[in-house]
Structure formats: structure tokens, C-alpha cells
């Protein structure tokens, strides 16, 4: 009996609509397996067979090869359960703790799309000590193997002295306990200097820095700071060898105000020498904090349509982007789905969601507990999204039937709860991304793509 009778095509395959010609003039297609993020080049006829789900005609040899690639899976395999079990296990793990800290409620930029309310002060006298004690207690738990500290805002560099003070204690405690220490900061970059970068990197062990830069000089919020930010980043690129292991991300949030300036932004990045392996570029459509759902849909559609061209330009310019093909999840999708992660606001509130701090509605209604009153020997209380994987499994979210669940995980439970689809852009332009992959590997389009995109 053919082995193919015991196998079926994985539900997590995306077959290219386009047919390409390989170097041997053979018609081929690309097949993406979202469980592994592997893109395979298969003959056109075989790819059509997989798309149709008819695997009984495959030879034992072909079936075995496809099973090794996890393109075919056992016929009785419940892949949805497998994927959710893997994601649930990561969310329940006690080995890696993640603290997202908001050391100040103030920001010196004030982006138009931001829903936070920024004010000076408001931090109590005991707030810093309570945050320190809570994180140190987590580091010293017997189950802790890794701790991740995120510095968020507001603008965290408005509280630079607090960051230095707390980070020095966290680093020392992690070293003493033999716990891996990772740290990330998200900043506008307006207060960055090379001196501060060295302190953050060497003393605070910040190994990942995300600078939000929403457009070129004409369109970036806080445009007066633009030249300063670009100057510091250019100087950092020139001194990259002094910062081994530091990962820089330039994130641009795009809306109708600046989406026409992406090409100018790309030109500016190249001119500043930021087409350097140290820097990765991340384009995002703006999530509207308002209730204008129509505007959100239109922005997502335009972003998804334009993104492949931007990605092509960036790759041609030697700019590092988030991979054309999304990678499998290696950690929970966000703090909201795991009690091993928490967000501590400058207000003293402990939250499960990174979009709750400094937003009046959530500061009043979604505080799980106060850091100064919390039992630091225990995980944070359960939040509203900690049962996320169970909801998906019950079919309460469209994610349960999506081919991208292994790499997306549902993206953002809060946005789903707000009635706004947070589906990533690759869901809508994966075919164009596969075209870019094909071009990079020497494949040539053979004929007009088919219109069937049902595999997405």
C-alpha cells in the first residue's frame, strides 16, 4: 500500500499562484510550510496535487520526501491541536520571565496616533523599590532560566537615571543567579547620544534597541529631532564593531499622513549608511486608537498592496528587513497570553497588555494589582487574555482556520477584542512575497498567475 494513503497535505501550506521556470526550464511552484517557515520548490504538477489535497496518487518515494519536509503529515494528525499545544506550552513555561517596564509616564514627542496620556510625575516614592523587589524576586526563583527586561514608555529615556539604577541591580542579580539576561528598549531616539548608547549597551545590557522613526524629515513627528536621531544612528553604524551583538530596529508606523514618503525614507536611510547588517527595518501600518474601523481597513489594504515594492527596494539597497517569510513563534505572542510576562506602569499598576499603561480607560479598568501591594513571590493575576489559546481552539476566533496560525499566533488578542483585525500584512501579500523569494533564487515567472488564492 502506498505510504501516501497514510498521509495528507498539511493544512499549513501556501502554494504559489505563480508558476516559475527553473534553470532546467522546468515548470515549478513555491510551497511555503508555515509550521517550519521552509519554502520548497516543487514541480508544478506536484504542487497542484498538494493544493487539491489529493495525495493518494503520490508514489511512496515522493510521499516520504514530502513527509520529511513536513509538507505531508499523518492522516490522523490534528495539526491545529499540535500548534496550539506548542504555543500554550510556551505561554505556561516558568523558565523565561518577561518584565515590560514603563519608568515614566511622560513623552517628549507625542505622536498623533498614540492613545496614551503623557504627564510628568505621578510616580510614588516607593514605586522604584517595589519594581526592583518584584523583578529581583522573579530572577531568584528556582524555575527561572532567563529574564527579559523591556523598557517602554512614554519615552523611557526621560527616566534615564531610573533605567540605569534598576538595570544595574537586575544585571548583577541575574549574573549571581546564573540567569540569562536580555533587555530591549523602545525609544523615539530624540534623547539618544553615543554616550548613552554605550551605557545602555555596556552597563544596562540592552542588546536590542528599537527606534521609532515615522518617515523622512518632512513627515516624521518631532521633525526638529530628526537630524539629531539620524546623526546618532549614522555614527553608531560607523562604530558597529564596538557594539557586537547589539540589534537595532528602525520601526516606521505608517498612515495616510506619511505612507507616500516611504521611498524618501528608504533613500534617507541609505544616505545615512544605515543599510548595515546591524540595522533591521520594520514597517507597520498604524493601529488607530479611535473607533474609525473604515479608515483602519483602508490603511491595511493600501499598506499590504504597497509593501512588496518597498521590500524589494530595501533588499536591493542592502537594507535588512524583517524576513520576507515569517518565522515560527519561539515565544508567546505577547505578555497578554502568559502569566510569566507582565507590564508595570509608572502609575504603579500591573497589567497583562502592553497597550494598557498610560491609557486612562485601561488605567482605571484593567489594573490587575498594584506593584506596591503585590505579593512578589507570585505571578501576576490572570488577565483577560490568558485563555487565548483555548479561545482559538474553541473556534471563537477566525485564527483557528488560518494557514498562518503557526507564525502569527493570533497577533493581538486586544485588537480582536476591540473589533479590529490585527492580521499581519503577509496574510494579504504572501503571493508577492513568494515572487520576491523566487526572483532571489533565480526562478523566472512562467505565465500569468492563477486566480485561485484559496490556500490563504
**Residue-wise pLDDT tens digits, 106-146:** 887 777 777 787 777 667 789 999 999 999 999 999 999 99
**Grid cell listed for 294:** 473604515
> Within this chain, do residues 352 and 214 fall inside the same structural domain, yes or no?
yes
Unique residue bearing C-alpha cell 485601561: 362
- Answer whether 341's CB lies under 8 Å from 332's CB: yes
> Within this chain, do residues 365 and 257 fall inside the same structural domain, yes or no?
yes
Please give the helix or strand (H or E) that residue 388 lies within, else none.
helix 388-393
Q: How far is CA 332 from the centre of its chain?
A: 11
Does any domain span residue 262? yes
Unique residue bearing C-alpha cell 553604524: 237
Does any domain span residue 122? yes
One digit per residue, pLDDT tens: the chain, 456 residues? Answer: 445 558 999 999 999 999 999 999 999 999 999 999 999 999 999 999 999 888 888 999 999 999 999 999 999 999 999 999 999 999 999 999 999 999 998 887 777 777 787 777 667 789 999 999 999 999 999 999 999 999 998 899 999 999 999 999 999 999 999 999 999 999 999 999 999 999 999 999 999 999 998 866 665 555 668 899 999 999 999 999 999 999 999 999 887 778 888 999 999 999 999 999 999 999 988 765 544 445 555 667 889 999 999 999 999 999 998 778 999 999 999 999 999 999 999 999 999 999 999 899 999 999 999 999 999 999 999 999 999 999 999 999 999 999 999 999 999 999 999 888 899 999 999 999 999 999 999 999 986 555 544 443
Does any domain span residue 453? no
Does any domain span residue 397? no
Residue 135's domain comprises 88-370
Does any domain span residue 217? yes
Predicted pLDDT at 256:
73
> Within this chain, do residues 68 and 152 fall inside the same structural domain, yes or no?
no
Predicted pLDDT at 25:
94
pTM of the entire structure?
0.91
Please give the helix or strand (H or E) that residue 40 lies within, else none.
strand 38-43
CA angle 284, 288, 294 (to 5 degrees): 105
> Within this chain, do residues 438 and 297 fall inside the same structural domain, yes or no?
no
Predicted pLDDT at 291:
42
> Within this chain, do residues 185 and 322 fall inside the same structural domain, yes or no?
yes
> Within this chain, do residues 196 and 48 fall inside the same structural domain, yes or no?
no
Q: How far is the CA of 189 from the CAs of 197, 215, 223, 353, 394, in angstroms? A: 10, 14, 12, 24, 43
Please give the helix or strand (H or E) that residue 183 lies within, else none.
strand 180-187
> Within this chain, do residues 138 and 258 fall inside the same structural domain, yes or no?
yes
Cβ atoms within 10 Å of 119's Cβ, excluding its own: 14
> Within this chain, do residues 64 and 141 fall inside the same structural domain, yes or no?
no
Number of domains, the chain: 2
Please give the helix or strand (H or E) that residue 143 lies within, else none.
none
Does any domain span residue 410? no
Predicted pLDDT at 257:
76
> Rounded CA gap, 182 and 380, in Å?
20
The total number of residues written for the chain in this structure: 456
Q: How far is the CA of 444 from the CAs of 13, 54, 375, 431, in angstroms? A: 22, 27, 61, 15
> Within this chain, do residues 72 and 219 fall inside the same structural domain, yes or no?
no
**Residue-wise pLDDT tens digits, 2-52:** 455 589 999 999 999 999 999 999 999 999 999 999 999 999 999 999 998
Q: What are phi and psi of 444, to 5 degrees?
A: -115, 135
Whichever domain contains 354, its CATH number is: 3.20.20.70
Does any domain span residue 120? yes
> Within this chain, do residues 141 and 73 fall inside the same structural domain, yes or no?
no
Predicted pLDDT at 452:
47
Q: Which of 370, 400, 435 is a domain's end point? A: 370
Q: Which of 370, 391, 412 is a domain's end point? A: 370
Does any domain span residue 352? yes
> Within this chain, do residues 157 and 186 fall inside the same structural domain, yes or no?
yes
> Within this chain, do residues 235 and 278 fall inside the same structural domain, yes or no?
yes
Predicted pLDDT at 447:
62
> Rounded CA gap, 293 and 9, in Å?
36
Amino acid at each position: 500500500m502506498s505510504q501516501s494513503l497514510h498521509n495528507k497535505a498539511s493544512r499549513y501550506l501556501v502554494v504559489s499562484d505563480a508558476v516559475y521556470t527553473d534553470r532546467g526550464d522546468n515548470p515549478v511552484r513555491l510551497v511555503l510550510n508555515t509550521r517550519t517557515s521552509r519554502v520548497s520548490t516543487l514541480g508544478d504538477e506536484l504542487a497542484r496535487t498538494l493544493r487539491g489535497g489529493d495525495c493518494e496518487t503520490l508514489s511512496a518515494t515522493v510521499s516520504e520526501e514530502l513527509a520529511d519536509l513536513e509538507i505531508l503529515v499523518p492522516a490522523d494528525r490534528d495539526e491545529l491541536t499540535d500548534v496550539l499545544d506548542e504555543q500554550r506550552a510556551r505561554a505556561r513555561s516558568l523558565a523565561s520571565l518577561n518584565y515590560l517596564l514603563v519608568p515614566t509616564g511622560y513623552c517628549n514627542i507625542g505622536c498623533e496616533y498614540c492613545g496614551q496620556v503623557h504627564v510628568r510625575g505621578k510616580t510614588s516614592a516607593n514605586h522604584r523599590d517595589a519594581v526592583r523587589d518584584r523583578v529581583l524576586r522573579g530572577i531568584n526563583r528556582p524555575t527561572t532560566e532567563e529574564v527579559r527586561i523591556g523598557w517602554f514608555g512614554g519615552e523611557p529615556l526621560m527616566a534615564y537615571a531610573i533605567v540605569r539604577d534598576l538595570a544595574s541591580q537586575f544585571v548583577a542579580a541575574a549574573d549571581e543567579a546564573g540567569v540569562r539576561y536580555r533587555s530591549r528598549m523602545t525609544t523615539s531616539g530624540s534623547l539618544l547620544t553615543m554616550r548613552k548608547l554605550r551605557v545602555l549597551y555596556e552597563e544596562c545590557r540592552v542588546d536590542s534597541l528599537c527606534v521609532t522613526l515615522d518617515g523622512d524629515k518632512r513627515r516624521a513627528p518631532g521633525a526638529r529631532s530628526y537630524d539629531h536621531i539620524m546623526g546618532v544612528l549614522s555614527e553608531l553604524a560607523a562604530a558597529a564593531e564596538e557594539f557586537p551583538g547589539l540589534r537595532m530596529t528602525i520601526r516606521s508606523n505608517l498612515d495616510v499622513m506619511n505612507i507616500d514618503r516611504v521611498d524618501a525614507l528608504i533613500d534617507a536611510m541609505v544616505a545615512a549608511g544605515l543599510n548595515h547588517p546591524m540595522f533591521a527595518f520594520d514597517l507597520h501600518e498604524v493601529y488607530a486608537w479611535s473607533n474609525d474601523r473604515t479608515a483602519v481597513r483602508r490603511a491595511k489594504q493600501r499598506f499590504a498592496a504597497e509593501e512588496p515594492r518597498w521590500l524589494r527596494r530595501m533588499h536591493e539597497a542592502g537594507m535588512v528587513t524583517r524576513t520576507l517569510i515569517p518565522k515560527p513563534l519561539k515565544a508567546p505572542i505577547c505578555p497578554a497570553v502568559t502569566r510569566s510576562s507582565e507590564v508595570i506602569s509608572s502609575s504603579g499598576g500591573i497589567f497583562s497588555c502592553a497597550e494598557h499603561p498610560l491609557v486612562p480607560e485601561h488605567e482605571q479598568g484593567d489594573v490587575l494589582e498594584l506593584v506596591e501591594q503585590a505579593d512578589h513571590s507570585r505571578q501576576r493575576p490572570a488577565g483577560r487574555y490568558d485563555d487565548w489559546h483555548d479561545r482559538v481552539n474553541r473556534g471563537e476566533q477566525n485564527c483557528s482556520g488560518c494557514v498562518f496560525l503557526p507564525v502569527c499566533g493570533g497577533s493581538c488578542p486586544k485588537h480582536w477584542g476591540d473589533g479590529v483585525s490585527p492580521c499581519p500584512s503577509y496574510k494579504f501579500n504572501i503571493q508577492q512575497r513568494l515572487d520576491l523569494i523566487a526572483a532571489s533564487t533565480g526562478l523566472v515567472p512562467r505565465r500569468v498567475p492563477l486566480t485561485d488564492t484559496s490556500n490563504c
